[in-house]
Amino acid sequence: MKFEKIKSHAKINLSLNVLGKKKSKLHNLETLVGFLDLHDEIFIRKINAKNHIIRFTGNFSNKIPKKNTISNLFKILDEMEKLKNQKYFISIKKNIPKQAGLGGGSMNASSLINYLVKRNKVQLTIKEIKNLCFKIGSDVILGIDQKNLVLAYKNKIKKIKKNLKISTLLIKPNFGCSTKKIYSKVRAYSKPQFSKIKSKNINFNSLSKMKNDLELISLKMYPRLAKLKEFFLNIDKNSYVRMTGSGSTIVGYFMSKKAALNAKKLLKKKYKNYWCNLSKTI
């Protein structure tokens, strides 16, 4: 049987506000999420075997633990008896770096859930899909469908049908940020802003005025990240620059691909050993 190919797109937090803490001690967030044409490639096929086979290849496949979002996903589905003893061979080409704030592992799980449900490989209710996502990771639910914008507020997901088509330039230092440490330093909380947001009000200008509440903490904890953003900011006065998630990727948003290409040349000249990727929102 031939492999089927699935695209697993990187996600970016266009805006992220920390609203407070839940009873579970996790933080309550609201975030505006977009997806990029940058993607991992997942290859999947049925096999006659006792166990699933999960392999990772590509530039960012090193040091992925045996227990990961994909192994967790299939373990849970087996326990739920949703796969009816069918086993799969899954090979994932990792084009999205780890510890980058781009949700690579979470979006891999989301993409596979979408595939299994839409191809009728498993039967899951909407409630079961939500529960499955939260068992794997808090970001996994954001990747269901992976298109347009996603508004997450008070654990509610809202699809915003709008394609911004913004050119983006991503740069990641040769280190990752500790999400746990960064959240432990949050002391101030934002007020909810997105409860009444409308797609017609979301554009390049309005996005440039938003923020990421985790950014200042990350820049203080990682001085090299602060210097990187400062250099990035001085490249193009018409662009804006913001960290995604808890980092360490810094994202520049540009009015044109030409401006993004020029910025990439300057960044690569200054930071030769940093990962840099020109992309766009989908």
Q: Among candidates 263, 259, 258, 254, which has minimal Cα distance to 281?
A: 254
Reply yes or no on whether the pLDDT at 72 is more than 80: yes
CATH class for domain 4-159?
alpha beta
Q: Give the active site residue among 40, 82, 93, 139.
A: 139
Please report which confidence band the pLDDT of residue 23 belongs to, taking 50, 70 and 90 as the band edges: confident
Q: Pairing relation of β-strands 149-153 and 27-47?
A: antiparallel
Decide if 11 is catalytic. Answer: yes
Q: Fold for domain 164-280?
A: Alpha-Beta Plaits (3.30.70)
pLDDT for position 24 = 72
Cα–Cα distance, 245 to 104 (Å, whole number): 12
pTM of the model: 0.93
Please report which confidence band the pLDDT of residue 41 belongs to, taking 50, 70 and 90 as the band edges: very high
Q: What mean pLDDT, rounded, does the chain reach?
A: 93
Please report which confidence band the pLDDT of residue 163 belongs to, taking 50, 70 and 90 as the band edges: confident
Query: For helices 104-118 and 126-136, what crossing angle results, to 10°?
Result: 150
Decide if 67 is catalytic. Answer: no
pLDDT for position 197 = 81
Please report which confidence band the pLDDT of residue 21 belongs to, taking 50, 70 and 90 as the band edges: confident
Q: Give the active site residue among 11, 229, 264, 280.
A: 11
- Burial pattern 43-75, b for ≥16 Cβ within 10 A else e, equals bbeeeeeeebebebeeebeeebeeebbbebbbe
DSSP symbol at 281? B
For 166-212, the pLDDT digits (tens) are: 999 999 999 999 989 999 999 999 998 887 788 888 999 999 999 99
Q: How is the chain split into domains, by residue range?
A: 4-159, 164-280
Half-sphere exposure of 33 (CA within 13 A, CB side): 28
What six digits make up the tokens of 74?
């299939």
